[in-house]
Chains A and B, each alone.
Chain A
Amino acid sequence: MNFANVKQRLHAIGPPILVIGVAIIAWEIVVRALNIRPIFLPAPSFVIEEAIGTRSELLSETLVTFYESVTGFAISIVTAVLVAVIFTYSQFLRRGLLPLFILIESTPQVAFAPLLLIWFGYGYLPKIIVALLVCFFPIVVDTTAGLNAVEPELLDLARILQASNLKILLKIRLPTSVPYFFNGVKTASALSVVGALVAEFVATDSGLGLLLLGAQLRFDMAMIIICIFILGLIGIGLYAVTSLAERLAMPWRRQH
């Protein structure tokens, strides 16, 4: 907040920004000096020109991918938390499903994309479901761990004071689970873009995935680089929003 803090931050982000700046300038100079063809590696200026030239197409496809990622991400958060809460109250379901969920977490959920396309046809829905699938498992596994990380003495105490199950959930379990929950959500934030993108690769009907595939077939390197850049921004943006939410939800952690 204060001046010293800002200075410290500037000191931390200065070197990487410098490196990136130098890399971009060197890239431009090398491409021009060696006369590298844009089909192999276009100069940054060329990439920017193409981005400006295709901006309306870029914007509409970016919105599609963004919409799919964010929707899948948001639905996965709600469902994963619900399932995690159910797990806390049903030992049978937790014992039965949690090991399966942990196993499924290490499988490539994007492999479901072709199956979902057979089921739901083209359009947004199958892509949202893939994004949801990819995000769901890390959140549910971490949140369940958090809801159960409560010290047993605390639960005993609450029971002695005759706290209801709902009160134990709201006042003890949920607050305890917050750091675990955000851990899962942060993992999922980057994955949601992967889910939407891969589903678009498979469906090839809209979004940045379609633009990327088309650019690959045309050897349009500038467009490939633009799409990577936009997808990166979406991934970083979602992660940043999640981290911000984490800070707001756990103000006591900011001090560290």
Chain B
Amino acid sequence: MKLGSGKQRLYAAGPAIIIVSVTIIAWEMIVRAFNIKPLFLPPPSLVAENAARFGLILVPHISATLYVTVAGFIVGALLAIAMAVLITYSTLLRNTLLPILLVVQSVPKQAFAPLVLVWFGYGDVPKIIIALLVGFFPIVVDTTAGLNAVEPELIDLARVVQASKMKILWKIRLPNSLPYFFNGLKIASALSVVGALVAEFLTGTYGLGYMLLNAQFHMNTALTITIIFVLGLIGIGLFGAASLAERLAMPWKRRMGGGGG
């Protein structure tokens, strides 16, 4: 199974690898052939050279952005789970807060960044709050849906055998909500990077958002491309971590080949 699936994967990734390499080669050739100024579009070779030169300078900024993103993501996820459980058990909250949460989901949370910065200053906390805000809503909405997607017969059965509310939560509702929760978590993983980035755009002291604006200001297009690439890797990494957590938490899903929408 190991070797076969490895080969199969390589086969599946083949076209993507071809397209990426052809694009990079074409990019290099076009820039050289048409003598495009590096200010406008540097060739990949120059981007790599530039990345090697600025690599060390970028490291503390990468770790700053990573810290804000991951902290916001994790705190947001924990708060969202707590909120989803509260909404499930309180009819009052479900009737009042849930509709508001659903509506606020389509509000651009990045717009709250200036407000949070005025209130909490320019340290790490406001940035984490902004990353948290962006990731919180999809998780809370999806997890609430999951906690309430239990078949009513199952709950009736649990009540008949006199299971406590706590036991129903732990043994029925939470396991049932896992696919929904991870769905929200995966959406939030990409969003929390956007939240951290926007917070750094607005504070302008350090982090990849600051460096990105700095590179733009100095017309260092090669560095801009490097930073976009690093930010992409962070987003993909978080999404990968969320997907891995999903596989570990729901081993039964692995057998089914990850189908579904």
- A interface secondary structure, majority: helix
Are A231 and B18 interface neighbours, CB within 8 A?
no
A54 and B53 CA atoms in complex are apart in Å by 48
**Residue B228, interface by CB 8 Å:** yes
Find the B residue at minimum CB distance from A216: B114
Contact A106:B96 (CB < 8 A) given known A114-B215, A114-B216, A235-B106: no
Residues in A whose Cβ lies below 8 Å from that of B232 = 103-104, 107-108, 111
Interface 9-mer from A76-84, A166-174, A187-195: A187-195
Contact A15:B96 (CB < 8 A) given known A103-B236, A108-B190: yes
Are B103 and A236 interface neighbours, CB within 8 A?
yes
Contact A115:B228 (CB < 8 A) given known A16-B99, A100-B19: yes
A236 and B102 CA atoms in complex are apart in Å by 10
Least CB distance from A170 to B in Å reads: 23
Least CB distance from B15 to A in Å reads: 3
Are A213 and B114 interface neighbours, CB within 8 A?
yes
Contact A224:B224 (CB < 8 A) given known A108-B231, A231-B111, A232-B108: no
Residues in A whose Cβ lies below 8 Å from that of B118 = 216, 219, 221, 224
A193 and B14 CA atoms in complex are apart in Å by 36
- B interface secondary structure, majority: helix
Least CB distance from B118 to A in Å reads: 6
Residues in B whose Cβ lies below 8 Å from that of A16 = 95-97, 99-100, 103
Least CB distance from A5 to B in Å reads: 17
Report which residue of B19, B114, B193, B221 has the largest number of chain A beta carbons within 10 angstroms of its beta carbon: B114
Are A194 and B115 interface neighbours, CB within 8 A?
no
**Residue B128, interface by CB 8 Å:** no
A114 and B235 CA atoms in complex are apart in Å by 18
CB < 8 Å neighbour of A202 from B14, B18, B100, B213? B213
Are B15 and A20 interface neighbours, CB within 8 A?
no
Residues in B whose Cβ lies below 8 Å from that of A224 = 114-115, 118
**Residue A117, interface by CB 8 Å:** yes
Residues in B whose Cβ lies below 8 Å from that of A20 = 100
**Residue A215, interface by CB 8 Å:** yes
Residues in B whose Cβ lies below 8 Å from that of A219 = 118
**Chain A residues with a Cβ closer than 8 Å to the other chain, count:** 59
**Residue A95, interface by CB 8 Å:** yes
Find the A residue at minimum CB distance from B99: A16
Report which residue of A111, A145, A212 has the largest number of chain B beta carbons within 10 angstroms of its beta carbon: A111
Least CB distance from A198 to B in Å reads: 6
A235 and B232 CA atoms in complex are apart in Å by 25
Interface residues of A in 116-151 (CB under 8 A from B): 117-119, 142, 145, 149
Interface residues of A in 221-236 (CB under 8 A from B): 221, 224-225, 227-228, 231-232, 235-236
Find the A residue at minimum CB distance from B20: A100
**Residue A157, interface by CB 8 Å:** no
CB < 8 Å neighbour of B224 from A100, A105, A110, A115? A115
Least CB distance from A110 to B in Å reads: 6
Residues in A whose Cβ lies below 8 Å from that of B115 = 221, 224-225, 228
Are B114 and A197 interface neighbours, CB within 8 A?
no
Interface 9-mer from B144-152, B162-170, B196-204: B196-204
CB < 8 Å neighbour of B190 from A96, A106, A189? A106
Report which residue of B92, B111, B201, B219 has the largest number of chain A beta carbons within 10 angstroms of its beta carbon: B111
**Residue B244, interface by CB 8 Å:** no
Are A198 and B110 interface neighbours, CB within 8 A?
yes
Are A194 and B104 interface neighbours, CB within 8 A?
no
**Residue B212, interface by CB 8 Å:** yes
Are A96 and B198 interface neighbours, CB within 8 A?
no
4 additional A-B residue pairs with CB within 8 Å, beyond A100-B19, A114-B215: A107-B236, A228-B107, A228-B112, A239-B106
Residues of A within 8 A of B (CB): 12-13, 15-16, 18-20, 40, 92-93, 95-97, 99-100, 103-108, 110-112, 114-115, 117-119, 142, 145, 149, 180, 183, 189-190, 193-194, 197-198, 201-202, 208, 212-213, 215-216, 219, 221, 224-225, 227-228, 231-232, 235-236, 238-239
Residues of B within 8 A of A (CB): 12-16, 18-20, 39-40, 92, 95-97, 99-100, 103-108, 110-112, 114-115, 117-119, 186, 189-190, 193-194, 197-198, 201-202, 212-213, 215-216, 219, 221, 224-225, 227-228, 231-233, 235-236, 238-239, 261
| Chain A to chain B: the 3 pairs with minimum beta-carbon distance, closest first | A96-B15, A216-B114, A107-B232
In the complex, 7 of the A-B residue pairs with CB atoms within 8 angstroms, ordered by the A residue number, are A96-B16, A99-B16, A110-B194, A190-B107, A198-B201, A202-B213, A215-B114
